[in-house]
Structure 1
Amino acid sequence: MKRESLISRIAFFCNKVLALLTFLAYILPFLAPNLFPFLSVLTLLLPLFLVLNAAFFIIWLLQLKRKMLLSGVVLLIGITFLGKLYRFKDAKLEAEPDDFTLMSYNVRLFNKYEWLPNKNVPSDISDVIQDYNPDILCLQEFTPNEDVRLRNFPYKKIYLKGDKNKYGQAIFSKFEIVNTGKIVFPNSTNNVIFADIVKKEDTIRVYSMHLQSVKISTDIHEKLDENKSKFIFKRISEAFKQQQQQSELIKDHYASCSYPKIICGDMNNSAFSYVYSNIKGEMTDAFQQAGQGFGESYNFKYYPARIDYVFVEDAFIVKEFITDNQVKLSDHFPVFTRLKKIESVATNPLKK
């Protein structure tokens, strides 16, 4: 019997370690981050784990080796995760008069501190919003700016904090807003705002969320020594624990609302996380219903980070979902969805 080469043995050892890490990442979305905060970081790497497992599967398959079964089983078990990672294009559903559209966008304070070498970011973002012309617009990291033109929305809810430099969130709507509110997160500058919006006979509650940031640099060329790496992992772990608490506050709040609900915004976490599962619950992820490709919503070089979401209840059909990664006016990309209300769950509170 021919002895296996050293390279093949090392490769299969790496394959086994990868399989173990992937299984851990599969389990972690069902475990609260405060139980294993350090391990929870693995959920951010799950897309990479899946790609590497696929590579190992192909390598062993081409060599006709039974070793391919290890990564094959890993991929088979995680088949439900693959739909969260990548989606092939479906036929677009036909637009109808009763449809309405929603856009969510973290605008990064309209480049107030000049992270981008572009003086026209506020007006350029205004042009993007005008081109998409959404019926409902949710903006995270919003700040007042005289160059921002949002005149098509007669109704709005803006929540700002800070004395000199005001920032926060905003919901703009072409439909009447009859009630608004916010969810304040303890020990955090992040929050959630909501608006009850009347569309014809129905009232819809729209939540705009901005969860705790993990504050990872988008510059992959930044030098990372051992101490800095440990600091980053610790910071991510702490952020995940905060996000867990924030997700529970959101879930408790929307559970008491009888209106059909839409939750959108910047979750600052992946679709493989406990936080994602907790907030989404039984709702539909609009990307999984009508998106395309990786759906990356955060401008992180060479890694398709999807951290901005639109979740809808069963009262809505998702007809279209777009993540516009050509719009590079923030560290996030805008997400846009076309929806149709399919049943009257709650009536207009203004009607007798």
Structure 2
Amino acid sequence: MLKGLSWISKTMLLLNVVLVLTTLMAYLLPFLAPKWFPILSVLTLFLPLFLIFNLLFFIYWFIQFKKYIFISGIALLLGITFINKFYNFKETVLPVSNSDFTIMSYNVRLFNKFKWDLKANIPKQIANLVDEKKPDILCIQEYSDFEQTRFSNYKYQHIFKEGKNIIVGNAIFSKYKIIDKGKITFPESNNNVVYADIVKENDTLRVYSMHLQSIKISTAIDDEDIQQMDENKTRTILKRISKAFTKQQIQAELIKQHYQDCKYKKVICGDMNNSAFSYVYRTIKGSMEDAFETNGAGFGKTYNFKYYPARIDYILVDKKMQVKEFETLNDFYNSDHFPLLARLNFSKEKL
């Protein structure tokens, strides 16, 4: 089978087989609880790279006119449903109607309380963005006691903050009346979820603002470390991520259990701290629509990580509703996350 292949092609074939087996394993991980395979669950973070490398191998064998093109070809075919989870080729914007409403989700990183960013007046800049975009519903993660604005244009608010040394939480601001509200607390974690039941005309909407366990990847890898990764550092990072994913599994299952009892249409916003290829994402999303997949464009990068277009923040929408527009505001650098903005409608309008 390998006769006539140069040593370069034999090496490429071996690497290709290993890549495809790893890719197929990553395909299965969204269906397997992280507590069963905590280290392997880290592979879901790199699935986009696996798909890209498979495409490169596909092109390589095509140029070589070799039959081994089918190895990565099959892997790409099996993973075709994963592609628009990390890259959308065409943005969809549907016509505006009077019954539309907008929702923004943003992890504000404590309004720069500890001066991670040296830019001045970051809380004011965030407030100005909200004033400019004028979302009808605003979901904030990592909301702190340091805010210099109360988002006073929103009559209805639900804010939950807690902590000893660092006061942090989640918040929901609404131009429409909030008739009920509450929170979901997580065991052995400072992270949580807040929710509010919001009335708009004759419809009621349950909105969740979530912040799941952080994997602390930005503190694990800095500019110098990326050039000097040794075995111990790699092992430490993998253990940290796998431990966080195991906690996220519990948190995701608690969120799903909570919203299953909700009789209203629902939208889940916030920082999941995990990829769209994970068990955690699949559990929370359920049958809901991912606004980026439906109407987004490009990579949909939501976390300002230099080495990778990470999408870990989401707006998930009840399938009975319609996503009419979605945007990730990647030109707004006032946090380690980027704001998300979606235009929704309570019912799927005929076009």
What TM-score bracket applies, with the shorter chain setting the length?
A: over 0.9
Question: Residues 136-215 of structure 1: matches in 2 within 5 Å?
Answer: 136-145=137-146, 147-148=148-149, 150-163=151-164, 165-215=166-216
Q: Tell whether the 8 Å contact from 1:125 to 1:148 is kept in structure 2 after alignment.
A: no
What does residue 283 of structure 2 align with? 278
State the TM-score, normalizing by the size of structure 2. 0.95
2:265 aligned residue (256, 260, 278): 260
**Aligned pair in 2 of structure 1 residues 121, 90: CA closer, same or farther (>3 Å)?**
closer
In structure 1, stretches of 5+ residues that fail to align are 344-352
Q: Tell whether the 8 Å contact from 2:34 to 2:246 is kept in structure 1 after alignment.
A: yes
The one-letter code matched in structure 2 to 1:104 is: S
Q: For 2:32 and 2:165, how far apart are their aligned partners in 1?
A: 41
Match of 2:72, SS state, is helix
Q: Tell whether the 8 Å contact from 1:219 to 1:301 is kept in structure 2 after alignment.
A: no
Shift in Å at residue 122 of structure 1?
Answer: 0.8
Match status 1:219 vs 2:222: yes
Q: For 1:340 and 1:36, how far apart are their aligned partners in 2?
A: 39
Q: For 2:342 and 2:314, how far apart are their aligned partners in 1?
A: 10
Shift in Å at residue 3 of structure 1?
Answer: 2.7
The one-letter code matched in structure 2 to 1:202 is: D
Shift in Å at residue 89 of structure 1?
Answer: 1.7
Q: For 2:92 and 2:185, how far apart are their aligned partners in 1?
A: 40
Match of 2:154, SS state, is coil
1:278-298 C-alpha deviation (Å, 9 max, x unpaired):
000011111111000110100
What does residue 116 of structure 1 align with? 117
**Aligned pair in 2 of structure 1 residues 304, 262: CA closer, same or farther (>3 Å)?**
same
The one-letter code matched in structure 2 to 1:41 is: V
Match status 1:5 vs 2:1: no
The one-letter code matched in structure 1 to 2:315 is: V
Q: For 2:142 and 2:3, how far apart are their aligned partners in 1?
A: 62
**Aligned pair in 2 of structure 1 residues 198, 302: CA closer, same or farther (>3 Å)?**
same
1:325 aligned residue (327, 330, 350): 330
Q: For 1:262 and 1:227, how far apart are their aligned partners in 2?
A: 41
Question: Residues 43-58 of structure 1: matches in 2 within 5 Å?
Answer: 43-58=44-59
What does residue 82 of structure 2 align with? 81
1:312 aligned residue (301, 313, 317): 317
Q: For 1:32 and 1:178, how far apart are their aligned partners in 2?
A: 35
Q: Tell whether the 8 Å contact from 2:158 to 2:171 is kept in structure 1 after alignment.
A: yes
The one-letter code matched in structure 2 to 1:293 is: G
Shift in Å at residue 149 of structure 1?
Answer: 5.3
Q: Tell whether the 8 Å contact from 1:139 to 1:169 is kept in structure 2 after alignment.
A: yes
Shift in Å at residue 155 of structure 1?
Answer: 0.6
Match status 1:231 vs 2:232: no
1:268-326 C-alpha deviation (Å, 9 max, x unpaired):
00000000000000111111110001101001113110000011112210001101111
Shift in Å at residue 267 of structure 1?
Answer: 0.2
**Aligned pair in 2 of structure 1 residues 220, 78: CA closer, same or farther (>3 Å)?**
farther
Q: Tell whether the 8 Å contact from 2:92 to 2:324 is kept in structure 1 after alignment.
A: no
What does residue 34 of structure 2 align with? 33
2:256 aligned residue (245, 251, 256): 251
What does residue 69 of structure 2 align with? 68
Q: Tell whether the 8 Å contact from 2:111 to 2:147 is kept in structure 1 after alignment.
A: no
Aligned length: 343
The one-letter code matched in structure 2 to 1:61 is: F
Q: Tell whether the 8 Å contact from 2:141 to 2:270 is kept in structure 1 after alignment.
A: yes
What does residue 348 of structure 1 align with? none
The one-letter code matched in structure 2 to 1:109 is: L
Q: Tell whether the 8 Å contact from 2:210 to 2:270 is kept in structure 1 after alignment.
A: yes
**Aligned pair in 2 of structure 1 residues 226, 201: CA closer, same or farther (>3 Å)?**
same
The one-letter code matched in structure 1 to 2:82 is: F
**Aligned pair in 2 of structure 1 residues 146, 257: CA closer, same or farther (>3 Å)?**
closer
**Aligned pair in 2 of structure 1 residues 41, 165: CA closer, same or farther (>3 Å)?**
closer
Match status 1:19 vs 2:20: yes
Q: For 1:2 and 1:36, how far apart are their aligned partners in 2?
A: 38
**Aligned pair in 2 of structure 1 residues 69, 146: CA closer, same or farther (>3 Å)?**
closer
Q: For 1:93 and 1:220, how far apart are their aligned partners in 2?
A: 41
Q: For 1:91 and 1:237, how far apart are their aligned partners in 2?
A: 36
Using the TM superposition, name which of 68-77 and 2-11 deviates more: 2-11
Q: For 2:26 and 2:53, how far apart are their aligned partners in 1?
A: 14
Identity in percent: 55
Q: For 1:146 and 1:110, how far apart are their aligned partners in 2?
A: 6
Q: For 1:323 and 1:285, how far apart are their aligned partners in 2?
A: 13
Match status 1:301 vs 2:293: no
The one-letter code matched in structure 2 to 1:203 is: T
